[in-house]
């Protein structure tokens, strides 16, 4: 494929992803509060003035206004363009992946739609669910059923329709959904019996079931290991931000019309006398989502690493 066509397709993929990210910002803000994601139109969170079309352009709108509302001058969180940028980059990575590194053969009339467009749209939808779940869980320690439960059958359908693009069969998808739910439920039960308190959120098993449905059961060991390692690392570095007494309120308990609390910045532990580890509450959903994205984008390298590790271990004990 000519370089110019490749550039155009890549720009379109990024623009589509950034636009999806703009929609995800609406989902992240409104879904936990039980608000409609369709009406009203996007508006300034401070003065509630509807955003103009040019102010609503993903990433660029925020940069042009220098992160401030054009009407009242209130600061607009940098999270909005960051979510749009991250979603755009993930979309670009998925497009390049499914087009086999922009292989000209993938752009033929009978290959582009089934082998590039279909998996791109379906797995970008999966990435969108993960991004929305991440920020909702960080804000509220909540994974809404309206987000996680539909993702399970959608993941099964995606594996059936386009799973070959990432090496996943519908059978592996079904086992992954069941195993994902079962592992988290068992871990939560054991933790509750040992620690005497809830250690796994009610939405975690649904999210891991969705991840298993999309990525297949073979992805689950990596997702669980990487999520746990990354969660422990962040918890150790930012203990104060994850203290039990810093948990946000239930969004359903907010008074009608009351603005939700803004996301708190992560604060590194200042000393060894930081919050004891047993008194931390770390949302697991964001780290499962991060690990799932890592597997989706790096799956071939991770599978090769797993095969090399198995061969090495087999050689030791042979």
Per the model's pLDDT, the better-predicted residue between 296 and 4 turns out to be 296
Token pair listed for 149: 């439960």
Instruction: Say if residue 275's pLDDT is above 60.
Output: no
Listing DSSP states for 106-153 in one string gives GGSTTTHIIIIIHHHHHHHHHHHHHHHHHHHHHHHS---HHHHTTHHH
Comparing CA positions, the residue from 214, 227, 259 lying closest to residue 134 is 227
**What pLDDT is attached to residue 248?**
67
The dihedrals phi and psi of 68, each to the nearest 5 degrees, come to -130, 150
Instruction: Say if residue 143's pLDDT is above 70.
Output: yes
Sorting pLDDT into bands at 50, 70 and 90, what band is 272? Answer: very low
Boundaries of every domain in the chain: 1-107, 143-318
What pTM does this model have?
A: 0.88
Comparing CA positions, the residue from 82, 80, 85 lying closest to residue 25 is 80
Q: What is the pLDDT of residues 39-85, one digit of tens each?
A: 888 887 778 888 888 878 999 989 988 888 888 888 888 999 999 99
Q: What is the pLDDT of residues 279-315, one digit of tens each?
A: 667 899 999 999 999 999 999 999 999 888 888 888 8
Q: Which residue has the tokens 């979510």?
A: 83
Instruction: Say if residue 37's pLDDT is above 70.
Output: yes
**What pLDDT is attached to residue 73?**
83
Sorting pLDDT into bands at 50, 70 and 90, what band is 255? Answer: very low
Token pair listed for 318: 């042979």
% of residues, the chain, pLDDT over 90: 53
Euclidean distance between the first and final Cα of the chain, in Å?
48
Query: What is the DSSP secondary structure assignment for residue 68, as one 8-state letter?
Result: B
Alpha helices in the chain (DSSP H): 3-30, 60-64, 79-98, 112, 118-140, 145-148, 151-162, 170-195, 204-215, 220-237, 285-317
Instruction: Say if residue 106's pLDDT is above 80.
Output: no
**What pLDDT is attached to residue 277?**
52
Q: What is the pLDDT of residues 147-174, one digit of tens each?
A: 999 999 999 999 999 999 999 999 999 9
* Angle, helix 79-98 to helix 285-317, in steps of 10 degrees: 40
Q: What is the mean pLDDT of the chain?
A: 86
Q: What is the pLDDT of residues 168-206, one digit of tens each?
A: 999 999 999 999 999 999 988 887 777 666 667 789 999
Per the model's pLDDT, the better-predicted residue between 106 and 243 turns out to be 106
Q: Which residue has the tokens 């298993």?
A: 212
């Amino acid at each position: 494929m000519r370089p110019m066509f490749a550039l155009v397709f890549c720009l379109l993929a990024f623009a589509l992803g950034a636009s999806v990210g703009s929609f995800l910002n609406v989902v992240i803000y409104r879904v936990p509060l039980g608000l409609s994601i369709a009406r009203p139109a996007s508006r300034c969170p401070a003065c509630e003035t509807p955003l103009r079309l040019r102010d609503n352009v993903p990433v660029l709108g925020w940069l042009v206004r220098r992160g401030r509302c054009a009407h009242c001058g209130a600061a607009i969180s940098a999270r909005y363009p960051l979510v749009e940028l991250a979603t755009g980059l993930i979309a670009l990575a998925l497009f390049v992946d499914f087009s086999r590194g922009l292989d000209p053969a993938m752009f033929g009339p009978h290959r582009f739609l089934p082998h590039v467009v279909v998996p791109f749209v379906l797995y970008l939808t999966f990435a969108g669910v993960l991004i929305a779940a991440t920020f909702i869980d960080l804000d509220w320690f909540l994974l809404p059923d309206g987000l996680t439960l539909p993702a399970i059958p959608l993941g099964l359908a995606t594996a059936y329709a386009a799973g070959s693009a990432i090496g996943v069969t519908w059978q592996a998808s079904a086992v992954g959904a069941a195993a994902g739910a079962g592992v988290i439920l068992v871990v939560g039960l054991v933790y509750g019996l040992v620690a005497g308190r809830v250690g796994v959120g009610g939405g975690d098993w649904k999210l891991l079931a969705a991840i298993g449905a999309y990525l297949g059961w073979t992805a689950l060991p990596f997702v669980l290991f990487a999520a746990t390692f990354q969660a422990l690392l962040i918890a150790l570095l930012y203990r104060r931000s994850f203290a039990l007494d810093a948990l946000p309120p239930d969004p359903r308990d907010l008074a009608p019309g009351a603005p939700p609390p803004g996301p708190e910045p992560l604060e590194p532990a200042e000393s060894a006398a930081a919050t004891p580890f047993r008194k931390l509450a770390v949302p697991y959903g964001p780290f499962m989502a991060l690990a799932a994205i890592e597997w989706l984008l790096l799956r071939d390298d991770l599978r090769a690493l797993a095969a090399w590790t198995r061969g090495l271990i087999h050689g030791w004990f042979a």
